[in-house]
Amino acid sequence: MIHDFTYLKPVTLQEALSMLADHKDECKVICGGQSLLIVMRQGLVVTDYLIDIKGLNELNYITYDEKQGLRMGATTTHRTVEKSNLLKQKYPVLVAVERKLASAQVRNWGTIAGNLAHGDSSGDLAPTLIALNAKIKLSSAKGSRVMPLEEFYTGLFETALNKDELVVEIQVPPARLLTATAYKKFNLIENDQGVAGVAATVEVDQSRACKDARIVLSNAGVTPIRAKSGEKVLIGKKLSDALLTEAAEAVADEADPVSDIHASEEYRRHLIRVLTKRMVKQAWEQAAKLR
Amino acid sequence: MEKRELRLTVNGQEYELYINPKTLLVEVIRDHIGLTGTKRGCETVSCGACTVIIDDIAVKSCSILAVQAEGRQVRTVEGLEANGKLAPLQKSFLDHGSYQCGFCTPGMLMMSEAFLKENPTPTREEIKEGIEGNICRCTGYNSIVRAVEAVAKGDYKGE
Amino acid sequence: MTINKYSVINTHVHNVDGIAKVTGRATYTFDVKLPGMLYGKILRSPHPHAKILNIDYSKALQLPGVIGVVTGKDTLGVKQGIWRRFQDLCDEQMLTVEKVRYIGEPVAAVAALTEEIAEQALDLIDVEYEVLPSVFEPLDAIKKEAPEIHEGFERNINVTRHIEWGDVEAAFEEADYIREDWFKCGGQAHMCMETRAAVSSYTPDGKLTVYHSTQAPYYMQTLLAGVLGLKEGNIRVISHYVGGGFGGKFELDGAIFCSAVLSMKLYRPVKIVFTREEEFIATKRRTPMSYYVRTGVKKDGTFCAREAKVFTNGGAYTGMGATALYLTGFFHSFPYRWTGYRYDGYRVYTNTLPSSAMRGFGAPQAMWCSEQQIEWIAADLGLDPIEMRRKNAHYPGYEVPGQASIASCGIDQCFDVIQKWVKDKGKLPGNRAIGISAAGFMSGGIFNWFDTPYSFSSAVVTINYDGTVELYVGAQDIGQGSNTTLAIICAETLGVKIGDIKVHSGDTEHCPADLGAWGSRQTLMAGNAVKMAAEDAKKQLLEIAYAQSGFNIVYDLDIKNRWVHAIDRPERGYDYAELVQKAIRGKEGQRIVGRGYYTPHRKGMISPAYSYMLQGVEVEIDKETGKIKLVDSLTAHDCGQPINRLGLMGQLEGAFSMAAGYGYLEYMPYEDGKLMNPNLVDYKVIRATEMPEVSVAEIDTYEPEGPYGAKEAGEGLTNPTAAAISNAIFHALGVQMKECPIRPEMIVNALKEKETKEREKK
């Protein structure tokens, strides 16, 4: 059962931040609540104050410009991302990821910041955004800071968010030519939580050799894992099966997956190998428009 | 903990309630207002039996605080019919036998209703994806998909 | 395809409960609210095996809003079971008194003003346990040093079953090829959308009214009488709409028992609804089984001998596990002729969730082992798997020695259909394959271990002055559509329209006794009762019609589509409504009442009739990840005369989804007696995106024992799919899977093993 709390509903971001400042040790923030209410019902999260920011429309936006890139407000729902024509053009991987995330009902009410702040390493959005080199903006009554999303995750369901801070915005650098990102998670049922997943961004040069790469793993450790050794294998090389195998091996070594009822550690590593090859290849070919 | 006033519009009817803010939307619908068509089948936002529509979008009412629905239009299965006249989806479900025990049916109907509003000309694959968040243990889903397809095709227009 | 000679049977008929279900008006036990009602919650054992030394609930009573607490000491301590004729198998106290035998077993129950208070009260009950050693696997539980779970059951062997015919050793001698395999079949959760729910109301006149989500109101009434010390006639069980049963809801459960005990103590209605987690950990499951099979065949594929030894994981109590033990042994021979057959089944107690009945009742497990081994034998011998099955299959008139007389049997035509389907599919892409499996099931059991004095099924038909018909049945509609199926039979027999029938079911106060919805019994047994009752009523109508008609004696009359007429002169007739009015006047103003009943007599050891089928499933497999995708399916199906057309398609598609889940999704891992995934995130069930097209080809047969030639449809369809999927995997990858459900990791490991073996050979 959910424990009683005092309900606070700020009308503006500033109001929300000052409420956070007042109650920082004894409050929790709810937006869509699609993850939070489950853990509150289980008694895993107990709070004296609940600050509801779902109504903060000023944080509900998706904007893009060629210089700054993509800006998504914290209370933007998954569904808005999924249906965005802008994103379909500029960052199709985000639309693809959202289509396979949970169910339509959850995507209709849940928000991207809520998802990211929850800190579940098996989530799909964080690794994809990290592969897109995203940054996250955190605000408090005292001011704001921006950090690479990669640095936001500090441990199992732990983030760098301070008790008086709110996630307010996700920032993604402008879409570039000859660059593509692909994400796939392995699950038994469509849209199910991934057993393991791989996001890969590949940037190619004019000769279709890999100029830059980012490989990020989901459900392969306590946080999303950036597989830097795997990335290094690809840089400067041309696409080949042997290269993919070598990179996959390096990526699997960097993974730190658990064994649970859904998969053993070895099988997760195996999946990571397979998905790395597939996603790097897919991103590479998309980037080079070899398809 | 202070109780809160809540003004909620359900199926076009405004209700004035006084609730503990931790009350879930499904609890307000079923227990406070007394509309028991909407069901609950799990604690993990997995089954979809509690699906209702808020302002044209389908949501799982077990994972929404009732206070968040303030000032919005909530629709439940009871609101599909109008003066005893069944909605096209309901007629199609009857024709296609798209229910057996019927427990998931209200949620399925509301999800399908919202889905068709958003995507009036879906492919079969899209319909399956559309109801992916709703579990049915009895029918194997295919009859539900057929029913939604028939409505999308216009089989119940002007009835 | 035969022309449909019926007006209502096998036509497109809306489910009679449709309007209620699609408008949200259907009231399930989950929805029931009574004046003054309290909410109950159950305290459950955290230990798999322990003595209860003391329960102190004084603190719970002090919590404001708590009205009462009960423990086993508040009960008569009756050990009950559904096999009432075998008292030693009645081993389960619904609120245990002395010791707990599985994690999740109820030890106390609280009633409070709100659910939240009741839940808080649970934390205030102190239970002192003396933890005992526990055992979780049957092969461990039968060891000499294993802890004794039930007194008097040596080696924890709960039930044994032996089925044998022919000279088995001689039959093995005849075989040119013998193969033996070991299999492990998992459990499965019913996962009904409506969890267990009951509202009990005991009143000062000594009467108990219970709303219960159940498959068998009469069973609940009788079993409650036994455990509560009440007269059956003082107990009323109401169950109008049930959110799924699948075999889990025809025994007493914690919800009905604890709510009744609480209500009897507090004289207020008490409602208990299980959470989904409780549903997983504390409602009985499909029986996990370990199978050893040894089969001998001739080199031309003729089946000679089969020997099977099975250990089932019975869990902590018997429940319906004895029947599952028996049926698995019988269906493991099905649908083939064996010169020699021997089955030895052992149901073993362990400290885990009791296993009991679930759709298929031991047959999915039996087919999973049998149909795979048969496929491997065909491959070993280079024989066509369909032809090999065909040459050994049952046929109409076949006697399964000492077990069953087969009347209708359409399996041979099933082989034709699937053979053609496979041929038409042609060569499949490299990552796809087709697997087949035969199966069948009983149409209700002949057994009366429940020890009922009543007919197995009964029905009453009453005709009102306006021609509308009240049909009273004890058969229970849990979603499978029995209300509709029986209304169809009634309408057809009486000669009226389906809209003229109003079905009354789910209330022991108004409906006749019936064993309920399990074992696929209702179409045949309740259907026969309904047919008999409708014929009785029609006869009374026609008596008046004959008297009034003035027809020559050679003419006989009938009613069809509300038209009373001479069969040879259909144009000479009049409206049924008119006849009804005359008939009621003829009976001095009394409604026409017809009665019917059915109990199987001398119908072998298992069932009066059997369904048959052959199912083909096309599967796509990702060889690198082991992920399975279902692509297409066709079932050639013999259920005799189909009655409820929409219902039949629904049963096929629904059974497929549940059976496929058993084959490759619904993993239920336990660790030290604790279920590791008691929720719908981690326990996987099929969703809309996973379902392939599922088609059926009905084979035309006529079952003499069934109403209009009908037999069961819906449970048999749960039996072949897991095996068909496994056989597809075998054909796609060449790996033989010995454990189900088959998860992708297992496939990847099996492939690795295969590659290693092949490399070693070189």
Q: Is C38 left (phi over 0), alpha (psi -120 to 50) or beta?
A: beta
Query: Would you state the pLDDT for residue C3?
Result: 58
pLDDT at A291: 43
**Is C642 a residue whose pLDDT tops 80?**
yes
Query: In chain C, which residue's Cα lies nearest the Cα of A100?
Result: C689
**Residues in chain B, how many?**
159
User: How close A6 comes to chain B (CA, Å)?
Assistant: 5
Tokens 């107690």 -> residue = C349
Instruction: Assess whether A236 and A165 both reside in one domain.
Output: no
Query: How would you classify the pairing of strands A153-155 and A158-159?
Result: antiparallel
Tell me how far apart the alpha carbons of residues A223 and C258 are, in angstroms, rounded to a whole number: 45
Examine domains C18-25+456-598 and C32-132+192-245+249-282 and report if their fold is the same.
no
Q: What is the pLDDT of residue C490?
A: 98
**In this structure, are A153 and A198 located in the same domain?**
no
Q: Which residues on A lie below 8 Å from C624 (Cβ)?
A: 274
Identify whether A161 is part of a domain: yes
Confidence of residue C568 (pLDDT cuts 50, 70, 90): confident
In the predicted structure, residue C1 carries a pLDDT above the cut 70 = no
C193/B144 touch (CB, cutoff 8 Å), yes or no: no
HSE-CB for C455 with a 13 A CA cutoff: 19
Tens digit of each residue's pLDDT (9 = 90 or more) over C414-465:
999 999 999 999 999 989 999 999 999 999 999 999 999 999 999 999 999 9
Residue numbers in A near C680 (CB within 8 A): none
List the helix and strand counts (H, then E) for chain C: 18, 33
Contacts of residue B106 in chain C, CB cutoff 8 Å?
A: 24
- Residue C349 clears pLDDT 90, i.e. is over it: yes
Chain B: closest CA distance from residue A128 (Å): 22
pLDDT for residue C635 is more than 90: yes
Q: Which residue of B has its CA nearest to C276?
A: B42
**8 A C-beta contact, residue C220 and residue C212:** yes
Q: What total number of domains does chain A contain?
A: 3
pLDDT of C554 strictly over 70:
yes
In this prediction, residue A289 carries a pLDDT of: 85
Do the strands C457-463 and A62-65 form a parallel or antiparallel pair, or are they unpaired? unpaired
Sequence-distant (6+) residues with CB within 8 A of C674 are: C48, C103
Handedness of CA C223, C228, C231, C235 (dihedral sign): negative
Q: Output the six-digit token pair for C98.
A: 């002395």
Question: For testing the chain B interface, which of C22, C275, C632 should be mutated: the one with the most B CBs within 10 Å?
Answer: C22
For residue A186, give its domain range: 179-288
Q: Answer whether residue A1 is part of any domain.
A: no
Name the helix (H) or strand (E) containing C499. none
Of all residues in chain A, the one with the smallest CA distance to C623 is: A274
Neighbours of C363 (CB within 10 A): 26
| C-alpha torsion angle, residues C716, C719, C720, C722 (rounded to 10) | 150
Task: Name the strand (E) or helix (H) holding C564.
Answer: strand C563-566
Is the predicted pLDDT of residue C4 greater than 80, yes or no?
A: no
DSSP C662-717: HHHT----EETTEES--STTTS----GGG--EEEEEE-----TTSGGGB---SSGG
Contact B58 A41 (CB under 8 A): no
Q: Are B31 and B38 in contact (CB under 8 A)?
A: no
For residue A25, the one-letter residue type is D
Q: Tell me: the pLDDT tens digits for C484-520?
A: 999 999 999 999 999 999 999 999 999 999 999 999 9
List the subunits that have 3+ CB pairs under 8 angstroms with B: A, C
Q: Assign a CATH topology to domain C32-132+192-245+249-282.
A: Aldehyde Oxidoreductase; domain 3 (3.90.1170)
pLDDT tens track for C673-709: 999 999 999 999 999 999 999 999 999 999 999 999 9
The domain spans of chain C are 18-25+456-598, 32-132+192-245+249-282, 285-446+604-761
Contact C517, C480 (CB under 8 A): yes
CB C52 within 8 A of CB C93: no
Peptide bond connecting C741 to the previous residue in cis, omega within 30 degrees of 0: yes
pLDDT one-digit tens code per residue, C660-674: 999 999 999 999 999
Q: In this structure, are A277 and A204 located in the same domain?
A: yes
Write down the pTM of the prediction: 0.97
- Count residue pairs from B and C with Cβ separation < 8 A: 166
Domain end position, chosen among A137, A172, A207? A172
Q: Is the minimum CB–CB distance between A59 and chain C shorter than 8 Å?
A: no
Per residue in A188-200, pLDDT (tens digit) is: 999 999 999 999 9
Asked whether residue A290 carries a pLDDT value surpassing 70, the answer given is no
Q: How many C-beta neighbours within 10 Å does residue C2 have?
A: 8
Report the amino acid identity of residue C620.
Answer: E
Question: Which residue in the set B22, B67, B133 is minimally distant from A4, CB to CB?
Answer: B22
Q: Are residues A166 and A183 in the same domain?
A: no
CATH number, span B4-79: 3.10.20.30
Number of helical H runs and strand E runs in chain B: 5, 5
For residue C20, list chain B residues with Cβ-Cβ distance below 8 A: 102
Contact criterion met (CB < 8 Å) for A1 and C677: no
Distance (Å, whole) CA A160 – CA A137: 11
List Cβ neighbours of A28 (8 Å cut-off, separation of 6 or more).
A5, A36, A45, A47, A49, A50, A51
Chain B residue whose CA is closest to C680: B46
Residue C609 CB neighbours (<10 A): 29
- Chain C contacts of B127, Cβ < 8 Å? 688
Best interface-test mutation with C: which of A184, A267, A274 has the largest number of C CBs within 10 A? A267
* DSSP letter assigned to residue B87: P
Provide the mean pLDDT of chain C. 97
pLDDT (tens digit, 9 = 90+) per residue, C240-249?
999 999 999 9
Which site among B63, B108, B112, B141 would you substitute to test the A interface, given the most A Cβ atoms closer than 10 Å to its Cβ? B63
Residues of A in contact with B134 (CB under 8 A): 103
Pairing of the two strands B73-75 and A158-159: unpaired
- Chain segment C581-612, per-residue pLDDT in tens: 999 999 999 999 999 999 999 999 999 999 99
H helix or E strand, kind and range, residue C356: strand C355-356
Domain with CATH 3.10.20.30 in chain B: 4-79
Amino acid C660 reads A
Alpha carbon C276 to its chain centroid, in Å, reads: 20
Burial C158-178 (b: 16+ CB within 10 A, else e): bbebebebbebeebbeebeee
Q: Indicate if ipTM > 0.95.
A: yes
Q: Which two tokens stand for residue C477?
A: 């509609």
Question: Are A83 and A151 members of one domain?
Answer: yes
pLDDT at C40: 98
Over residues C718-733, mean pLDDT: 98
Q: What residues in C contact B134, CB-CB < 8 Å?
A: 687-688
In contact, A115 and A123? CB cutoff 8 Å: yes
Same domain, A104 and A205: no
DSSP B30: I
Cβ–Cβ below 8 Å for B63 and A37: yes
Task: Say which CATH topology domain C285-446+604-761 has.
Answer: Aldehyde Oxidoreductase; domain 4 (3.30.365)
Q: What is the pLDDT of residue C419?
A: 98
**Structure token pair of residue C372:** 């795979």
Boundary-marking domain end, from A172, A200, A218? A172
Q: How confident is the model at residue B156 (pLDDT cuts 50, 70, 90)?
A: very high
> Cβ(C343)–Cβ(C164) under 8 Å?
yes
DSSP string, A69-104: EEEEETT-BHHHHHH-HHHHHH-HHHHHHHHTSS-H
Q: How many CB atoms lie within 10 A of CB C419?
A: 18
Domain boundary among the residues A152, A172, A192 is at A172
Which residues of B are less than 8 Å from C281 in CB distance? Answer: none
Residue B132 to residue A103, Cβ atoms within 8 A? yes
Q: Please state which architecture CATH assigns to domain C18-25+456-598.
A: 2-Layer Sandwich (3.30)
What distance in Å separates the CA atoms of residue B135 and residue C118, rounded to the nearest whole number?
Answer: 29
Task: Calculate how close chain C gets to A161, using CA atoms only, in Å.
Answer: 27
Q: Supply B114's token pair.
A: 């919202």
- Band of residue C251 on the pLDDT scale cut at 50, 70, 90: very high
The string of pLDDT tens digits covering residues C62-117 is 999 999 999 999 999 999 999 999 999 999 999 999 999 999 999 999 999 999 99
Give bridge partners of residue C83 from the DSSP assignment: none
CB contact under 8 A, A2 and B22: yes
Q: Which amino acid is at C287?
A: T
CA distance A211 to chain C (A): 28
Statement to judge: residues A99 and A131 lie in one domain: yes
| Chain B interface mutation, best of A75, A103, A189, highest count of B Cβ atoms under 10 Å | A103
Percent pLDDT > 70 in chain C is 100
Asked if B100 and C481 touch (Cβ cutoff 8 Å), the reply is: yes
Name subunits touching C (3+ CB pairs < 8 A): A, B
What phi-psi label fits residue B128: left (phi over 0), alpha (psi between -120 and 50 degrees) or beta?
alpha
Q: Enumerate the CATH 1.10.150.120 domain ranges in chain B, comma separated.
A: 88-153
Beta sheet of C197-203, edge-to-edge order: C66-71, C106-112, C38-44, C270-273, C197-203, C207-212, C235-238
CATH number of B88-153: 1.10.150.120
C-alpha dist (Å) from residue C695 to C84, C421, C616, C649? 41, 11, 10, 8
Residues 6 or more apart in contact with residue C735 via CB below 8 angstroms: C729, C747, C750, C751, C753, C754
- Give the chain A residue whose CA is nearest to the CA of B49: A105
Residue at token pair 């597939």: A278
CA atoms of C708 and C702, how far apart (whole Å): 8
Query: For residue range B89-113, what is the model confidence (pLDDT) as tens digits?
Result: 999 999 999 999 999 999 999 999 9
For an interface test with C, the pick among B138, B139, B143 (most C C-beta atoms closer than 10 Å) comes out as: B138
Q: Which of A50, A79, A190 sits opposite B132 (nearest CB)?
A: A190
Three-class SS of C92-155: ECCCCCCEECCCCCEEEEEEECCHHHHHHHHCCCEEEEEECCCCCCHHHHCCCCCCCCCCCCHH
